[in-house]
Amino acid sequence: MPSDLPPHETRPLVLSLSGITKRFGALTANDAIDLDVRAGEIVALLGENGAGKTTLMSILFGHYVADAGSIHIADASGQMAPLPGGSAQAALAAGIGMVHQHFALAENLTGLENIVLGTVPLWRLGFSRGAARAKIEGLMRGSGLDIDLDVPVGRLSVGEQQRVEILKALYRDVRVLILDEPTAVLTPQEAEGLAQTVRRLAARGLAVLFISHKLQEVLALCERIVVLRGGAKVADRPSAGADRATLAELMVGRPIPPRTRTPGRPGACVLDLDGVSVGRAGERDRLVEATLKVHAGEIVGIAGVSGNGQGALAGLVAGLMAPSGGRADLAGTRLGAANPAARVAAGVGRIPEDRHRDGTIGALSVAENLVIETIAAPENQSAGFLRYGALRARAAQAIRDYDVRCPGPDAAIRALSGGNMQKVVLARVLERAPRLVLAHQPTRGLDIGATTDVHRRLLAARGRGAAVLLISEDLDELFALADRIAVIHAGRLSPALPAEGLDLRRVGLMMAGHAAGEAA
Amino acid sequence: MWAALDILLQANFWAAAIRIATPLIFGVLGALVCERAGVLNLGIEGIFVAGAMSGWLAVYLGASLWGGVAVAAATGAAFGLLLGLLTVPLGLSQHVTGLGVTMLATAATYFGYRVAFSTVSTPPRIEPFPPLHVPVLGDLPFIGTVLGQQSALTVFAFLCVGAVAVVLARTPLGLALRAVGDNPEAVEAQGLSVVALRVGAVTAGSALMALGGAFLTLSAFNAFYFGMINGRGWVCIALTVFASWRPGKALLGALLFGALDAYQLRIQTIAGGVVPSQVFLMLPYLFSIAALVLLARRADYPRALMKPYFKGQR
């Protein structure tokens, strides 16, 4: 908490949005939003996907022009001046810095070059790297952000890349810093480090807009919480006295039933990995001598920061990759060469990490996407011709059962929202009653409503007796669903421990590479 | 056998290697500038043709040799600007647009030539760039012979390699150019214009390519012929991958190709009786294909190459 600043009301205003409205066709993405931000304030912007957070920030940063409303920002002397819309250049010049969820970094340039980019006129024949370095090093000392400035950014870790992003903004002496879902890619410890940095920066008078949908961290970090829903501002209140349940209800617009979890009843071993390796040394996403058992009727969660071998584990189970060593059995059958079709036949249901790239084929219809993995089955084809009548009938049934919001079985799946697309994937996988469900980041990018639905379905699959392997970066999700949790780091899998005996802090340390023993 | 190796010791062979390499140096540099900014410029073959003809025509009509070079560069820049406007703000397919520009530039050039010289059967010649006399170095026995056959335009090509290398590595413009070919959002987020940078890079790169064509008419053949470019532009596209988009390696690749071409011309006279000459003609191209097979899979392509960027989309 900032201590050397005057109380909240008397701090100078730095940013004032009034009546911001933006429409895309029939959709009102922002509806007359007012927002005042004062120096040294940390304001959370909460909302589900599609609530209008990103649109609002894109307007502030000049990516979009608002249809109505105005933005005023304090200039160097503290006077509020209007900000011309539609220009990132103007926003930067006015002292607004933005750290995007997807980093805007050139990976072939060093940290120093990325930070300096755009701050020196392009017609200059050169620039003083020494002076730039001195200024950045001063900023690194002041903020606690520390990176190697001379390594191409592509070789830095995700956490380090985020520090480059923040330094980029600080280098331009911003007065307002926007952080868009900054902790989505961080381990809990990295997220705590970021929170400390943000507090330190705010204490020096920087105004911080913190976009997030993680209620816990918003409550811990921010002084004020602004909630958007359906494009409109529905709440603007101090965080003191707020709790998760109220905030979730404000975001969703209806009460969220508390999740209740009953322990699973593990049966026979379905997936049995014994010292399995996938991929070669030097590859980033690989599996090193992993040992894991997943039983029927239990959910085993795999926690870890993305890119630590989850892709190799999922690829092995889904039959996209062959093991390079060790023994891998699926219900008593040895897993050998990569053969995804054989896995489907053996009863593996795969919910892929990226539903746009691997989960669906955008140009095909909902009905076609539903049978894409079982296209050769007699109920889907006869003599090589698709039985479209049967396909449509079953698609219509799945659309009802899974509450897919779409025009109908013949709609191209790319027209569906992420949540509805995921429901189609779930229907495809779960209607086969698979023996093993591989759920890789099944709720990434989904809002609370769709997430709740996915969770319910996975628990139902477990109840039916399926073994579920749940790979997720979201620790809340893992603790809500998994009976046992293993942590993956640098391709090595920890033993799967009962979820009841673990806590967030310990899993977080293991995600950062500490052994299970030290982390305890 | 010894005769085949003896070629490598002849000053004439090295002089020819550099001469053959010069248009390729311009071409690879131009392609590299475009691709570093994220735009594949398949208009290169046609831009070579247009540069060759326009530079030569300007000199024929009374301009100075360097005036001809400037006209060629301006012609190349114009076609580059066209390609840039089609591929960057409109985001059209870079393959299709590039091939279209090659066809347009080639056809427009041939048409212009036919209109200007409708009654002439042999192309008129111009007085080309004279061989350069370099003080001190030019008086050395072996090196002097090699250098004594080069023109000022070759020296200019080498200077361009250095200039492009320095701009890319050391200047704010170079930073922005490399960044826009890797992640245009990074450039946009820092308040720079992706469109201006990319269109500018394609325009400048195309001007360099056109100089490769101009070298052929103003320094090598002294006249303009149909079909004289003969795939040199395409070779440059391959050499750009070979060079990993680095100016120094681009120079090396162009010289290597030039040396192979000069070598096959000479080995033909030795072994031509036994092996059909076409086999030797293939050698430099086989080398290009082999180099691509070996290197292209590992090549570190600019991440945003051939990916159109539209503001506000992620």
Q: Is A334 on the interface with B (CB under 8 A)?
A: no
Largest CA distance in chain A: 79
**What amino acid is encoded at A74 in this protein?**
A
pLDDT surpassing 80 at residue A7: no
- d(Cα B310, Cα A56) in Å, to the nearest integer? 19
A356 at B interface, C-beta within 8 A: no
Contacts of B176 in chain A (CB under 8 A): 117-118, 122
Phi, psi of A27, deg, nearest 5: -90, 130
- Of B65, B63, B80, B58, nearest to B152 by C-alpha is B65
Asked if residue B90 lies in contact with residue B228, where contact means CB atoms within 8 angstroms, the answer is no
- Residue B42's pLDDT is 97
Across the interface, do A126 and B173 touch by the CB < 8 Å criterion?
Answer: no
Helices (H), A94-236: 111-116, 129-143, 158-171, 188-203, 215-221
Tell me how far apart the alpha carbons of residues B292 and B282 are, in angstroms, rounded to a whole number. Answer: 15
Best of A60, A113, A122 to substitute, by most chain B Cβ atoms within 10 angstroms, is A122
Model pLDDT, residue B1: 66
How far, in Å, CA of A116 to CA of A102, rounded? 19
pLDDT of res. A452:
87
Ranges of each domain in chain B: 12-118+131-229
Among B166, B177, B178, B182, the residue to mutate for chain A (most A Cβ within 10 A): B182
Q: How confident is the model at residue A275 (pLDDT cuts 50, 70, 90)?
A: very high
Tell me the pLDDT tens digit for each residue of A290-334: 999 999 999 999 998 888 899 999 999 999 999 999 999 998 889
* Residue A502 near residue A484 (C-beta atoms within 8 A): no
Amino acid found at B76: G
- Which chain A residues touch B172 with a CB distance below 8 Å? 116-117, 120-122, 124, 126-127
Contact state of A118 with B190 under an 8 Å Cβ cutoff: yes
Confidence (pTM): 0.81
- What angle, 0 to 180 degrees and rounded to 10, lies between the N-to-C axes of helices A448-464 and A244-252? 110
The rounded distance, in Å, linking the Cα atoms of B52 and B230 is 12
Q: What is the pLDDT of residue A163?
A: 93
DSSP state of A439: E
Task: Render the burial of B98-129: b for 16+ CB within 10 Å, e for the rest.
Answer: bebbbebbbebbeeebeeeeeeeeebeebebb
Instruction: For A87-121, give the DSSP string.
Output: -HHHHHHTTEEEE-SS----TTSBHHHHHHTTTS-
CB contact under 8 A, B185 and A63: no
- Closest by CA to B199, choosing from B39, B1, B309, B307, is B39
User: B176–A118: do the CB atoms touch at under 8 Å?
Assistant: yes
SS3 content of chain A, % helix, strand, coil (to 5): 35, 25, 40
Q: List the one residue out of A421, A302, A408, A406 whose CA is nearest residue A357.
A: A421
Sign (positive or negative) of CA dihedral B252, B255, B257, B260:
negative
- Cβ-contact A244, A251 below 8 angstroms: no
Query: With bands split at pLDDT 50, 70 and 90, how would you rate the model's confidence at A2?
Result: very low
Q: How does pLDDT run across B55-79, given as a tens digit for each residue? A: 999 999 999 999 999 999 999 999 9
Distance CA(A29)–CA(A67), nearest Å, equals 11
In tens, the pLDDT along A115-159 reads 999 999 998 888 889 999 999 999 999 888 999 999 999 888 888
Q: Would you call B187 and A106 a contact, using CB atoms and an 8 Å cutoff?
A: yes
Task: Measure CA B127 to chain center.
Answer: 23
Tell me: pLDDT of A5 over 60. no
| Cross-strand partners of A229 | A232
Q: For residue A111, name the pLDDT band (cuts at 50, 70, 90).
A: very high
pLDDT reported for residue A475: 85
Contacts of A125 in chain B (CB under 8 A): 171
Q: Rounded CA gap, A430 and A438, in Å? A: 11
Contact present, A424 and A412 (Cβ < 8 Å): no
Contact between A451 and A473 (Cβ < 8 Å): no
B95 touches A: beta carbon within 8 Å: no
* Per-residue pLDDT at B313: 54
Measure A179 CA to nearest chain B CA, in Å: 14
Q: Is residue A114 less than 8 Å (CB to CB) from chain B?
A: yes
Identify the pLDDT of residue A159. Answer: 86
Q: How does the average pLDDT of chain A come out, rounded?
A: 89
Mind telling me how many Å the CA of A105 is from chain B's nearest CA? 5
Q: Does residue A1 have a pLDDT over 80?
A: no
Q: What is residue A258's DSSP assignment?
A: P
Please judge whether A98 and B189 are an interchain contact, meaning their C-beta atoms are less than 8 angstroms apart: yes
Task: Judge: B173–A122 Cβ closer than 8 Å, yes or no.
Answer: yes
pLDDT recorded at residue B97: 97
B182 and A88 within 8 Å at the Cβ level: the answer is no
For residue A225, what are the β-bridge partners? Answer: A44, A237
Note whether A92 contacts B191, CB cutoff 8 Å: yes
Beta-strand (E) ranges in A220-286?
Answer: 224-229, 232-238, 269-278
State the CB neighbour count (10 A cutoff) for residue A325.
12
| Structure confidence by residue, pLDDT tens digits, A203-241 | 999 999 999 878 888 999 999 999 999 889 999 999 988
User: In this complex, do A118 and B303 lie within 8 Å of one another by their Cβ atoms?
Assistant: no
Q: What is the pLDDT of residue B312?
A: 60
Q: Can you read off the two tokens belonging to residue B271?
A: 């072994």
Confidence of residue A516 (pLDDT cuts 50, 70, 90): low
A300 neighbors A280 (Cβ within 8 angstroms): no
d(CA B235, CA B248): 17
Name residues of chain B where pLDDT drops below 50: 314
Looking at residue A203, its amino acid is A
User: Does the pLDDT of residue A4 top 60, yes or no?
Assistant: no
Size of interface A-B (CB pairs under 8 A): 82
Asked if B28 and B163 count as a contact pair (C-beta separation under 8 A), the reply is no
**Cβ–Cβ contact A113 with B under 8 A:** yes
Q: Is B21 helix (H, G, I), strand (E, B) or coil?
A: helix
Q: In whole angstroms, what is the distance from residue A362 CA to residue B37 CA?
A: 30
**Cβ A185 vs Cβ A211: under 8 Å:** no
Contact B84, B202 (CB under 8 A): yes
Q: Return the closest-CA partner of residue A475 out of A437, A434, A510, A449.
A: A510
Distance, in angstroms, between A114 CA and closest chain B CA?
8
Residues A214, A183 contacting (CB under 8 angstroms): yes
What's the ipTM?
0.89
Cβ separation of A107 and B312 shorter than 8 Å? no
Has residue A520 got a pLDDT over 50? no
pLDDT tens for each residue of A88-110 = 889 999 999 999 888 899 999 99
Q: Chain A within 8 Å of B195 (Cβ-Cβ)?
A: no
Burial pattern A358-396, b for ≥16 Cβ within 10 A else e, equals: bbbeeeebbbbbbbebbeeeeebbeeeeeeeeebbebbe
pLDDT at A183: 85
Among candidate residues B161, B158, B200, B154, the one with its CA nearest the CA of residue B177: B200
Tokens of A490: 């640098």
- Which structural domains are found in chain A, ordered by start? 1-92+219-256 (3.40.50.300), 269-519 (3.40.50.300)
**Which B positions 148-177 lie with beta carbon below 8 A of chain A?**
170-173, 175-176
Q: Are A222 and A61 in contact (CB under 8 A)?
A: no
In sequence order, the β-bridge partners of residue A295 are A269
Contact B171 A109 (CB under 8 A): no
Whether B302 sits inside 8 A of A108 (CB atoms) is yes
